[in-house]
């Protein structure tokens, strides 16, 4: 093989590799996405009750900005919140379970303030946006 022929074949190999490698990356990325979707379908993305300590979650931050508490009775007793009677409902009786924005989903409640959230609020949870169901 002449040197120019060898050089030409060498360059051809580099070009072929350059064309294949990005496609390989795309295929690997596609596999990862498929794995994620499968995990979510298998319950990997399952909902859980909001963890008020997870302040990195923007949905939790939204609720905490509204003084969300997981248990309104305890929070009133501990003087963590001051709750007024509203719509004829006593403070201790207020909660996500009877809030106009609380939507029952099986045994749990979702809050319409965080509709895209992957978690439920507590049945006895409460925040300053509480309003009675009519
Ligand atoms: S009290 Fe109502 S608005 Fe507040 S977190 Fe519970 S369901 Fe949402």
Each residue's pLDDT tens digit, 67-125: 999 999 999 999 999 999 999 999 999 999 999 999 998 888 999 998 765 689 999 99
Cα 4 to ligand 1 centre (Å): 76
| Ligand 1 pocket residue status of 75, Cβ below 6 Å | no
Q: Of 48, 52, 71, which Cα lies nearest the Cα of 62?
A: 52
pLDDT confidence bin for 9, thresholds 50/70/90: low
Beta carbons within 10 angstroms of residue 14's beta carbon: 9
Of 50 and 101, the one with more pLDDT: 101
Of 91 and 51, the one with more pLDDT: 91
**Structural element, H or E, at residue 28:** helix 3-39
Q: Which residues, at least 6 apart from 131, have a Cβ–Cβ distance to it below 8 Å?
A: 86, 87, 99, 100, 101
Looking at the fold, whether 41 and 52 belong to one and the same domain comes out as no
Beta carbons within 10 angstroms of residue 109's beta carbon: 22
Check: CB of residue 132 under 8 Å from CB of residue 85.
no
The residue range of the domain holding 28 is 1-45
Cα 101 to ligand 1 centre (Å): 6
Answer yes or no: is 126 within a domain. no
| Structure confidence at residue 16 (pLDDT) | 47
Looking at the fold, whether 75 and 108 belong to one and the same domain comes out as yes
């Amino acid at each position: 093989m002449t040197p120019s022929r060898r050089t030409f074949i060498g360059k051809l190999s580099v070009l072929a590799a350059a064309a294949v490698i990005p496609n390989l990356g795309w295929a690997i990325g596609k596999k990862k996405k498929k794995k994620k979707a499968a995990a979510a379908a298998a319950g990997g993305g399952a909902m859980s009750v909001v963890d008020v300590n997870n302040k990195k979650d923007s949905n939790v931050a939204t609720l905490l900005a509204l003084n969300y508490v997981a248990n309104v009775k305890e929070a009133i007793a501990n003087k963590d919140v001051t709750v007024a009677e509203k719509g004829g409902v006593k403070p201790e009786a207020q909660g996500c379970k009877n809030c106009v924005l609380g939507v029952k989903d099986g045994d749990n409640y979702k809050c319409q303030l965080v509709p895209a959230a992957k978690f439920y609020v507590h049945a006895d949870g409460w925040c300053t946006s509480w309003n009675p169901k009519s």
